[in-house]
Chains A and B, each alone.
Chain A
Amino acid sequence: MSFTPNLDKNVIWKRIRYDPEILSLMGLTGKTDLEIAKAIIKRSQYDDIVSSQKRICIYFRPSRDAGYDMWSENVFQVDVHVPATQDYIADQIQERIKKLLHKYPVNNRLLQFDGQLGELATTTGFVCIGSRFSYYSTN
């Protein structure tokens, strides 16, 4: 139950990356690993998204005080950037992500859906919707 952000992020990324429904919504079915890796990334970056691309960003937020020295509450965020003309797809992707990750065990820790953030900053012509998940680890 120790602090392992690299392992945890990889598990979360794989859970999303290999889901057929996510790939279909992102328009990535049948695409190469490289194209998928550019669309589902493990950091927050959106200034290089172009035209009809969609992107999922998975990254950690500042931890929360869990009330005990031994524990921290880790928080990560999943942002979905889509062209503004397809804003409904962002909601569908977030819905699927919640189903994939809520109560999902990641390295013996249970993820909890922490709520959605609504519309977030993104590049011109795009819409971004984010949601957060949390889990506990020892310090």
Chain B
Amino acid sequence: MGLKFNAKACQLALRAEMLATMEKLLTEMYMNMIADLKTPQSKMDVVRQMAKYKAGVITGQVISGAYAIMDSYGTGSLMDKSNPFLDEYKATSSWSVPMYNPIRLQKNTTAILGRPKGRYRPITGGSRTSRGRMEGLNLEEAASLVTKSGKIRASTSVKPALPSKAIQTSFDWIAKTRINKEVMRTVQNFNFARFFEFTPDGR
């Protein structure tokens, strides 16, 4: 009489369960993120990819575009400066067609300022040209919007946005609270016993 354990079948089955758990966590992360994002534009800017297994690793992604990042981390003088992508974004001010306004870097401010004359690349993509009429002016303060010719352009004022923290909260919640609980639940509910076999001849 022998006892056999089919390790390979067990590994495959456990992997399938873990993949399902990863899918569940990704769905939860995605749903919580879009629930906390403030605008329809930023909600539509989050994409969820299916969990997959490759080369011994199970991975999954929830990808946030520019609108979702701006919503989550805020904009202008109200932005959350702990944004891990902020330094990378600021470095684009040295590009030949800059993304981050170089004047913001020079003045060491995150307030939304008028761009210098020339082409620039908005964070949302594409390419635009600024005539430079509001160069260096703080667009967040309507009263200061006086052009070089002395006209007030209050309609050009831009309101900075407070961060919704949708990405940060959703990620922290899943990574620090939910992953451990769900993985433990998957392992505890997994039926290891079905991979044991009794063999009459001991083989």
Contacts and interface: CB of A to CB of B under 8 A. Distances in A.
Q: Do A and B come from one complex?
A: yes
Interface of A: 61-62, 64-65, 114-115, 117-118, 120-121, 123-124
Contact of A121 (B24, B163, B172): B163
**Interface of B: prevailing SS:** helix
Contacts of A124: 78, 162
A115 B173 CA distance: 9
Contact of A61 (B24, B35, B78, B177): B35
Nearest to A47: B162
B27 A120 contact: no
A65 B186 CA distance: 13
**DSSP majority for the A interface?**
strand
Interface in B21-48: 24, 27-28, 31-32, 35-36
B92 interface: no
B35 A123 contact: no
Given A62-B28, A62-B32, 8 more contacts: A62-B31, A62-B35, A115-B173, A117-B169, A120-B169, A121-B163, A121-B169, A124-B78
B164 interface: yes
A64 B32 CA distance: 10
B183 to A, nearest CB: 14
B90 interface: no
B159 interface: no
B173 A117 contact: yes
Contacts of A64: 24, 28
The 5 closest A-B pairs by CB, nearest first: A62-B31, A121-B165, A115-B177, A121-B164, A65-B24
A32 B28 CA distance: 39
A68 B169 CA distance: 27
Nearest to A64: B28
A115 B179 CA distance: 13
